[in-house]
Structure 1
Amino acid sequence: MNLQWSIRVWTRSALPNTRSTGCFSTSTRTQYRPLDVLENATLNTFQQRCFVPEHPAILPRGSFQDLPALKKWFKPANGKPTRNPIASLNADYLHKHGAEAFVPLELTQCPSPDPTTETKSETNQLHSFRQFHAPLSLFLDWMRAAETTPQSSRLYLAQCQLLDLPAVLREDFPVPELVAHAGKGDVYDTNVWIGHPPTYTPLHRDPNPNLFVQLAGEKVVRLLAPADGQAVFGAVRREVGKSGGREAAAFRGEEMMQGAERVLLDEMVWESPVSAGSDAGVGFEARLGVGDGLFIPKGWWHSIKGVGEGVTGSVNWWFR
């Protein structure tokens, strides 16, 4: 099932509207260290260590293994349940209960001939990108085809609001205790994310605390504190001749996903190594497997990549 879309590709040396400022040298890039894993997931520990001081952390590994969607929406591709199995989408279940739901999709046309492999050349090229809404059945058909046949484009169910889905599917995502009781109990929004790796969400920040849970496959998240992320964002925006102030970061659109800004943000965030030293730098990296949860405080900048094989799926709750 090939979804054709026009594509324009530039190499890094020919990016439009850029000027050399020297701000992208290796010495000025942020260094990252592994993010801490909480020793327990009690409400008191979460409030004192994470929610109140606004500090990110990984919840104890596998804390969300019992989330109904984890077992209903996905299944082991090889039929053998393990700690972090290669997953496939349970398309029959989703088609039965939500085929006609209108959902948000991201279509990315890739310059690489193999859309399942993320390469250095792919990172340094621009992708064509389009956001649109369509019936969930379209996405399910594409996912079925992608399991057996390499696709020239990628389709990603991105930031699909739970309220857009039928009640029977919404019931697969009960609100976690930490979301319901850590703050005021106000759930701002709940969103689902599903695709075949590599998936990508560029550097951005959220206006509310975020509990991010991995349902299938693996994802890697890089995080920067508010001031550090603003500095990276501002440097990239100035490099492409745009405003890098806080007002520019408040409203983000398709420029995050294509063009020079995407390429430069990817370089700034992802081309630095991870060090285990406690003084490695101001950035953090979190690697999430099935059932793992990550708390991202309000205002913390983060970028997310889906990696590995099979299907990657996530859900997040924005809350206060």
Structure 2
Amino acid sequence: MRSSHILRSISLPTHHQPSLSSFSSLLSSSQPALLTGLISHWPALDNWTVKNNLGRLRERASGILVPVEWAQKGRGFMDEGEKGKTTMLLETYLDAFILDRIPSEDPTMLPNLTFYLAQHDLFDSIPELLEDIPGPFLEDYLSAGKGEVWQKNIWLGPAGTFTPIHRDPYHNLFAHLSPSPKTIRLYPPTIPTSTLYLAPPPQHQTSRLPVSPPNVSLPDWPLFEEARREERSVVIKKGEAVLIPEGWWHSVEGVGTGEGGEDSERLSVNFWFR
């Protein structure tokens, strides 16, 4: 069965420590890019680590409820297989699924499932977290558009998490904080939407493709081959950020090994802004 891994993605251009002017040009020209050296001063890079007990994330976790998605490894929430959503205490989630302090009642279940704290504004519940991502990043770069910062999210989960192809109604600045990388694949706003097999409303901005793009079976989803020919991709590593301009379709997957063979938890922060 032919899968789409035979097609090669176009690599994103890299901009090291882009000036505010260069950043604004990327926005105005709707060009996604890998940005290096932009968040290298963030204390979160050293503090929000398993070695450091996740720093303020764990220190301030008591009593805070968070939404958690669970699904089979490598398969997103649009998949028809085993999946679900629940709400739990942040301290329980961190101790059970990130810090491995709480043993599972059924150890055979966990290797096949991922439990993902996705798209949640913890900064609203724990404002002190903003002290770990300081500087001109928020004040200057996120004001490069209309100056509207809509939401700040934390994305935290083990290896194997997958967010299916979708697009946002805002610019997206996605910053990665963990040694284990993520892979982001992007498709231009002009791509025929028929090639992405979008879900019916209200999920009509999200693809029904159940697995990551390289693993899609083209005989089952033949139109997707056209989309893959327009695909850009990047492996985002610790201390890097990716600019995803408004309207660009994209998927995010917790795959790949970091320096020293790291393939464990993945922690990212993103900002939706205009």
Question: What does 1:123-134 align with in structure 2 at a 5 Å threshold?
Answer: 127-134=81-88
| Matching residue's letter, 2:100 | A
Higher Rg: 1
Number of the residue aligned with 1:72 = 47
- The reply on whether 1:176 has 2:138 as its aligned counterpart is yes
CA distance in 2, matches of 1:290, 1:162: 20
State the shift of 1:171 in Å.
2.9
3-state SS of the aligned residue for 1:207? coil
Number of the residue aligned with 2:204 = 249
CA distance in 2, matches of 1:314, 1:296: 14
- The reply on whether 1:185 has 2:147 as its aligned counterpart is yes
CA distance in 2, matches of 1:195, 1:148: 17
| Matching residue's letter, 1:318 | W
3-state SS of the aligned residue for 2:239? coil
Of 74, 89, 92, which aligns to 1:135?
89
3-state SS of the aligned residue for 1:314? strand
- The reply on whether 1:288 has 2:236 as its aligned counterpart is yes
CA distance in 2, matches of 1:45, 1:294: 14
CA distance in 2, matches of 1:317, 1:304: 15
Q: Is the 8 A contact 1:33 1:285 kept in 2?
A: yes
Q: Is the 8 A contact 2:123 2:130 kept in 1?
A: yes
Give the direction of change, closer, same or farther, for the CA distance of 1:30–1:299 in structure 2 (3 Å limit). farther
Question: What does 1:89-104 align with in structure 2 at a 5 Å threshold?
Answer: 90-91=53-54, 93-104=56-67
3-state SS of the aligned residue for 1:231? helix
Give the direction of change, closer, same or farther, for the CA distance of 1:184–1:162 in structure 2 (3 Å limit). farther
- The reply on whether 1:157 has 2:101 as its aligned counterpart is no
Q: Is the 8 A contact 2:3 2:215 kept in 1?
A: no
- The reply on whether 1:207 has 2:156 as its aligned counterpart is no
Q: Is the 8 A contact 1:98 1:169 kept in 2?
A: no
CA distance in 1, matches of 2:215, 2:94: 33
TM-score by length of 1: 0.67
CA distance in 2, matches of 1:58, 1:148: 38
Of 215, 220, 241, which aligns to 2:183?
220
CA distance in 2, matches of 1:200, 1:146: 24
- The reply on whether 1:58 has 2:34 as its aligned counterpart is yes
Of 94, 100, 116, which aligns to 1:145?
100
Q: Is the 8 A contact 1:212 1:317 kept in 2?
A: yes
3-state SS of the aligned residue for 1:38? strand
Q: Is the 8 A contact 2:34 2:241 kept in 1?
A: yes
Structure with a larger share of its residues in helix: 1
| Matching residue's letter, 1:132 | T
Q: Percent identity?
A: 29
State the shift of 1:230 in Å.
2.1
CA distance in 1, matches of 2:151, 2:214: 28
Residue-by-residue CA offset, 1:201-260 (whole Å, 9 max, x unaligned): 100000000000011020010000012162322xx24xxxx65x9x8624x5xxx6xxxx
RMSD: 3.3
| Matching residue's letter, 1:224 | Y
3-state SS of the aligned residue for 1:184? coil
Structure 1: gaps of 5 or more residues: 1-11, 13-23, 77-88, 273-279
CA distance in 2, matches of 1:287, 1:179: 22
- The reply on whether 1:230 has 2:193 as its aligned counterpart is yes
CA distance in 2, matches of 1:229, 1:192: 31
